[in-house]
Amino acid sequence: MPKRIQLPDDFYKHDFKQLAKIEKHPRTRIRFIGLSHIQNGKSYEQVVQYLLQSLSAVKQWVRHYKDEGINGLKEKQRSGRPSKARNQNHTKLLQSILAMQNNKNGGRVRLKDIQNMLAKDFNIHYQNINGVHYLLTKLGLSWISARSKHPKQDKEAQALYKKLQTKGNRCLTYGHRLK
C-alpha cells in the first residue's frame, strides 16, 4: 500500500478542478488536474498514470505547492536564447530600418533587405528571416506594409485625376470616357 502523502492544511481549501477549468496555460492546467486527483485521495503513481507525467514531476508540483502555494504551480517566465541584437542599441536599429524605408525610391523594404543591412552595418547575422521578423516585432514595427509606390509615379497627375473625377465622370486628359 502506498505511503500517505503529507499535505498542508490549506491544501483542501482550494478547488483545483475549478482552477483547472479557468486556467489558460496548458502546463499549469495539468498541474491543477494532478493536484485535484491527489486531493481526491489518489496516490502519486495513479496520478502519473492518469496524466502521463513523470513521478518526479508530480512530486515537484506538491513540493512547489507546499513552498509557494498556488503561485508555485503557475508557469514562470522562461529565459530562452538571448537575442543576437542584445548588445546593439535598439533605437539605432529602429532608426536605420525606418531610414531604409524612407530612402527607398519605389517598392517596399523586404525582410531580406533588412537582414542584409543588419549583417553589413551591425554585424548581426540571422540565418533565417524569422529572426529578423521577431526582432522587428520586438522593436515595435508591424511588418504589414502599406501599398507600395511606383518609382515613376506622377503625384501631380494623380491629384488632377482625383480633382476632376466626379460621380460617373472620368478625367478626359487620360483617355477615359464620360457618361
Report if residue 19 sits inside a domain: yes
- Choose the weakest-confidence range: 28-42, 60-74, 131-145: 131-145
Please state the domain count of the chain: 2
Grid cell, residue 24, equals 489558460
Please indicate, yes or no, if residue 49 is contained in any of the structural domains: yes
Same domain, 20 and 68: yes
Give the residue-averaged pLDDT of 61-65: 94
CB proximity list for 51: less than 8 A, separation 6 or greater: 30, 33, 34, 37, 58
Residue at 55 is within a domain = yes
pLDDT digits (tens, 9 = 90+) for 127-142: 999 989 988 888 888 7
Tell me, yes or no, whether 125 lies in a domain: yes
Which residues constitute the domain of residue 128? 90-139
The pLDDT-based confidence of 14 (bands split at 50, 70, 90) is: very high
In a domain, 168, yes or no: no
Q: In whole angstroms, how far apart are CA 174 and each of 10, 29, 149, 161, 178?
A: 81, 65, 20, 9, 12
pTM value is 0.51
Choose the weakest-confidence range: 13-17, 101-105, 155-159.
101-105
